[in-house]
Amino acid sequence: MSAKKLSSVEKQDVVVKFVGDSGDGMQLIGTLFSDSAALAGNDLATFPDYPAEIRAPHNTVAGVSGFQIHVGQKRISTSGDLCDVLVAMNPASLKANLKWAQKGATIIVDADTFTEETLQKAGYTTNPLIDGSLTSYNLVAAPISSLTRKALEPAGLDVKTMDKTRNMFALGMIYFIFDRDMTPTYHFFEAKFKKKPQMIEVNKTVLRAGYDYADTAEIVESHISVAPAKMPKGRYRNITGNVATAWGLLAASEKSGRPLFLGSYPITPATDILVEIIKHKSLGAKAFQAEDEIAGICSAIGASFAGAMACTTTSGPGLSLKSEALGLAVMTELPLVLVDVQRGGPSTGLPTKSEQSDLYQALYGRNGEAPLVVVASSTPANCFYFAFEAARIAMEHMTPVILLSDGSLGNGSQLFRIPKMADMPEIHPPLAAANDPEFKPYRRNPETLARYWAIPGTEGLRHRIGGLEKEDVIGNLTTDPLNHEKMVRNRREKVERVALDIPEQTLFGDPKADLLVVSWGGTEGAVRSAVEAMQENGASIAHAHFNYIMPLPRNTESILSGHKKVVVCELNDGQFVNYLRGKFAHIPMQTYNKVQGLPFTVHELVDCFKKLLK
């Protein structure tokens, strides 16, 4: 029974962050809270952040796992800068994340974990719960572990099993603060533990206990209310970028009439695309988990030769391994989609952190003259549309296409309005007709320069393609120097003509603004939010965000021209800006780069833009 009826404070948007040890279930309760927000009609964006180690050091800063959610009644385009509510399950997670909590934030900690040993492991010399260092926050030091065990005493469980559910106690407290309905989470327990009915009741009990504790202890003065967002009517779901990518590939397969084949090797943070495709065998999709990255892409090239809509997925180190086979796909002029979910490098680098560090590799990372198309998704939801678009371009133009995503997009989530398949455009691969007397392996469509796709087994279309140079049109093996130069230029021109088949670049703001901000890929949300904030304060600033990288949209030069200053913002050391400088050397461009394995914050971007405008 509540001590008193709480009022509600309505907020346009709120940022909540769950942090703890890798085994504390922060990703799970973050996802459950995100789902509850989606069901309540809020717009949202999430950012999971966790260590690369399978068994990260317990109770250390290096082993902290986190999940941040930004929910709102307005359009949400980033996972937020500083959090309004921070749940920290041990001292290390508090130490690592206190800098991300704004002053006055509510901080919920499991007081039972703040022992002399754990404080020392986290690097504390005094206990922050009692040394006065948290006086500028609303500190809720709750004995979560002991209260969880007390709630489960009648169940007769061992301590280890009981402690595994304490994350649900913390989630119950958050549900009270936001006055959320727990019923959908109950349904989750019922589905997840269908074969373990005791665990259904155990988790329900702990969730309710957390809710009731927050109520009776009066941990906040009022509920936080976030009204539903106004969004177009439709069917929505909370979707990660990796799942959206898989769905986009499946949709392209249906619209092209070509069966989907995915040949891949598991690699963080791209593995979930493979996992999702495997679930959809009923749609005709075939997924092959290869023994390594090279086998993955080579199996996909073989499937493409056989007439499949072929794909392979990877991250930076895997893209390095696939480079020779990518050259084979360029030489054979076969359609192939390679999805690169970027992470920090070089080498194995930062497996669970996000960067835009593979652009050079995507553009140039092959021997010889081996051009291909490069596109980039920019939100978890539009991973669906750019996966579809990458497959369309690959098949209609008979070329490999690299789709650049990144870890923050692939693992992050947002609301996705599920489109109707009837509204998706048809894809028309240039299939060679049976018994065509004019068929030759390298005879080309005069508009696109794409060669025709001769499916093996089609009557009258026997042909040879391969990694050695072939004679133009005829396809015979040749090392004639003039023929080689002609074929090199044909392959380059084919890719350049894709610019005629993609949208022109859009500009957000005044075409003659004093400052043009340029970005690409997964930085769109943060950069656009910063630009919007400055425009609202009267700044002369515009934004051009690029999704089509190679070739660039045909109006790119006009978009970049006419501004006093141009700044290119990237999560790398300046790869896109150097690419642009190589094409538009007459346009001065400045840079703003961040190479920390973390996304941009809106605050730091606004500070940068203000300095440039001065």
What is the distance between the alpha carbons of residues 263 and 392, in angstroms, rounded to a whole number? 18
CA contacts within 13 A on the Cβ side of 257: 7
Average the pLDDT over 338-366 and give the result.
96
Mutual orientation of helices 293-305 and 323-332 as an angle, nearest 10°? 10
What is the distance between the alpha carbons of residues 270 and 272, in angstroms, rounded to a whole number? 6
pLDDT-derived band at 6 (thresholds 50, 70, 90) equals: confident
Name 536's Cβ contacts closer than 8 Å, sequence gap at least 6.
none
Residue 159: how many other CB atoms lie within 10 Å: 10
Q: 140 to each of 174, 177, 276, how far by Cα in Å?
A: 12, 12, 39
Provide the residue type at 614 as one letter. K
Given a cut of 60, whether residue 144 has pLDDT beyond it is: yes
Mutual orientation of helices 241-256 and 271-278 as an angle, nearest 10°? 50
What is the distance between the alpha carbons of residues 470 and 371, in angstroms, rounded to a whole number? 17
- pLDDT tens track for 176-216: 999 999 999 999 999 999 999 999 999 999 999 999 999 99
SS3 403: strand
CB 107 within 8 A of CB 262: no
What is the distance between the alpha carbons of residues 400 and 71, in angstroms, rounded to a whole number? 38
Averaged confidence pLDDT in the chain = 96
Q: Is the dihedral of CA 510, 511, 517, 518 positive or negative?
A: positive
Predicted confidence at residue 1, as pLDDT, reads 45
Residue 383: how many other CB atoms lie within 10 Å: 31
Given a cut of 90, whether residue 68 has pLDDT beyond it is: yes
- Token pair 């610019």: residue: 499
What is the distance between the alpha carbons of residues 313 and 350, in angstroms, rounded to a whole number? 18
Provide the H-helix boundaries in 197-291: 197-216, 241-256, 271-278
Q: What 8-state DSSP symbol labels residue 422?
A: G
Cis peptide before 128 (omega within 30 of 0): no
SS3 510: coil
Tokens of 260: 């989907």
- The CA-to-CA distance between both ends of the chain, in Å, stands at 57
Whether domain 515-613 has CATH 1.10.287.70: the reply is: no
SS3 265: coil
Structure pTM?
A: 0.95
Q: 72 to each of 121, 226, 337, 522, how far by Cα in Å?
A: 37, 6, 35, 20
Given a cut of 60, whether residue 525 has pLDDT beyond it is: yes
CB 300 within 8 A of CB 346: no
Given a cut of 90, whether residue 4 has pLDDT beyond it is: no
What is the distance between the alpha carbons of residues 143 and 152, in angstroms, rounded to a whole number? 14
Cα 611 versus chain centre, distance? 30
Name 165's Cβ contacts closer than 8 Å, sequence gap at least 6.
148, 152, 202, 203, 206
Nearest alpha carbon to residue 124 among 104, 142, 105, 109: 109
- Token pair 């959908």: residue: 184
Q: Domain segments of the chain: what residues?
A: 7-225, 238-423, 515-613
Nearest alpha carbon to residue 211 among 175, 180, 168, 178: 175
- pLDDT tens track for 406-456: 999 999 999 999 999 999 999 999 999 999 999 999 999 999 999 999 999
Predicted confidence at residue 453, as pLDDT, reads 98
Q: What 8-state DSSP symbol labels residue 74?
A: S
Nearest alpha carbon to residue 380 among 196, 522, 586, 187: 522
How wide is the angle at C-alpha 388 spanned by C-alphas 382 and 390, nearest 5°?
100
Predicted confidence at residue 55, as pLDDT, reads 78
- pLDDT tens track for 394-404: 999 999 999 99
Report the residue count for the chain.
614
Average the pLDDT over 254-282 and give the result.
97
CB 472 within 8 A of CB 483: yes
Average the pLDDT over 534-538 and give the result.
97
Cβ-count burial 180-191 (b if 16+ within 10 Å, e if not): bebeebeebbee
With a pLDDT cut of 70, the percent of the chain lying above it is 99
CATH of 238-423, one of 3.40.50.970, 3.40.50.410, 3.50.50.60, 3.40.50.300: 3.40.50.970
Average the pLDDT over 74-79 and give the result.
95
Predicted confidence at residue 488, as pLDDT, reads 98
How wide is the angle at C-alpha 57 spanned by C-alphas 357 and 314, nearest 5°?
30
Average the pLDDT over 517-542 and give the result.
98
DSSP string, 539-551: --EEEEEESEEES
Cα 570 versus chain centre, distance? 16
CATH superfamily of the domain spanning 7-225: Pyruvate-ferredoxin oxidoreductase, PFOR, domain III (3.40.920.10)
pLDDT-derived band at 3 (thresholds 50, 70, 90) equals: low
Nearest alpha carbon to residue 251 among 421, 114, 366: 421
- pLDDT tens track for 294-315: 999 999 999 999 999 999 999 9
What is the distance between the alpha carbons of residues 496 and 221, in angstroms, rounded to a whole number? 61
Tokens of 376: 């980039």
pLDDT-derived band at 57 (thresholds 50, 70, 90) equals: confident
pLDDT-derived band at 56 (thresholds 50, 70, 90) equals: confident
Residue 104: how many other CB atoms lie within 10 Å: 9
Is 515-613 in the same CATH topology as 238-423? yes
Given a cut of 60, whether residue 362 has pLDDT beyond it is: yes
Mutual orientation of helices 26-39 and 166-177 as an angle, nearest 10°? 30
